[in-house]
């Protein structure tokens, strides 16, 4: 495999971080995966994971990122710690298609609001992973990587951040603000 992620931190640390990260590092050392990472880790959880044996091999923290949840503090923290951010749910389960600001920017570039949202995430040096089963949407998602947004457009999209978390199951950690 190319990448194996610990998808959620263990609720209440039932499985210690050292054990989980150790198992990932062992899988990598045995050649079962090229890379390892975590998903949905807070700043404190990421710091803990990086400090345990094998933590120095973590390459990404996959977190929710879209125009309505920029997740700035965690993104900045990951960057400072040398861990690449992978942004999931970049289209906010379709909500980006209904936003007037994104529609206006899209109209100016003759693209879709989804493409604007994807370009905004990618411009933040975040790996974007939208999901689609339709070939036309997949191509549109790829085409979004060629879209350049102006500084003013980026500011307008940044202003959409309202901390709207979509993936927030009962076992989720206490999120960073």
CB 96 within 8 A of CB 113: yes
Q: Kindly state the average pLDDT of the residues 137-163.
A: 96
Q: Kindly state the average pLDDT of the residues 18-47.
A: 97
Q: Kindly state the average pLDDT of the residues 102-107.
A: 98
pLDDT tens-digit map of 55-96:
999 999 999 999 999 999 999 999 999 999 999 999 999 999
Token pair of 70, please? 């920029």
CB 22 within 8 A of CB 57: no
Q: How much of the chain exceeds pLDDT 90, in percent?
A: 94
pLDDT at 85: 98
Q: C-alpha dihedral over 19, 20, 24, 26, to 10 degrees?
A: 10
Which residue, among 159, 130, 173, has the nearest Cα to 70 in the 3D structure? 159
Q: How much of the chain exceeds pLDDT 70, in percent?
A: 100
* Distance of alpha carbon 128 from alpha carbon 120, whole angstroms: 10
Per-residue confidence band for 159, with pLDDT thresholds at 50, 70 and 90: very high
Residues in a beta bridge with 62: 39, 86
Token pair of 47, please? 């710091």
Which residue, among 154, 92, 77, 159, has the nearest Cα to 119 in the 3D structure? 154
* Distance of alpha carbon 72 from alpha carbon 39, whole angstroms: 16
User: Is residue 132 helix, strand or coil?
Assistant: coil
């Amino acid at each position: 495999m190319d990448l194996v992620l610990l998808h959620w931190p263990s609720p209440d640390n039932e499985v210690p971080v050292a054990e989980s990260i150790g198992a990932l590092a062992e899988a990598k050392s045995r050649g079962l995966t090229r890379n390892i990472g975590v998903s949905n880790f807070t700043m404190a959880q990421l710091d803990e994971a990086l400090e345990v044996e094998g933590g120095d091999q973590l390459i990404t923290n996959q977190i929710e990122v879209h125009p309505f949840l920029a997740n700035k503090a965690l993104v900045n923290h990951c960057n400072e710690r040398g861990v690449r951010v992978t942004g999931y749910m970049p289209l906010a389960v379709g909500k980006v298609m209904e936003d007037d600001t994104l529609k206006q920017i899209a109209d100016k570039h003759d693209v879709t609001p989804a493409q604007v949202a994807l370009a905004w995430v990618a411009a933040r040096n975040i790996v974007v992973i939208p999901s689609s089963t339709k070939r036309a949407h997949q191509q549109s998602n790829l085409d979004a990587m060629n879209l350049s947004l102006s500084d003013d457009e980026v500011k307008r999209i940044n202003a959409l951040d309202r901390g709207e978390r979509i993936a927030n199951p009962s076992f989720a950690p206490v999120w960073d603000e």
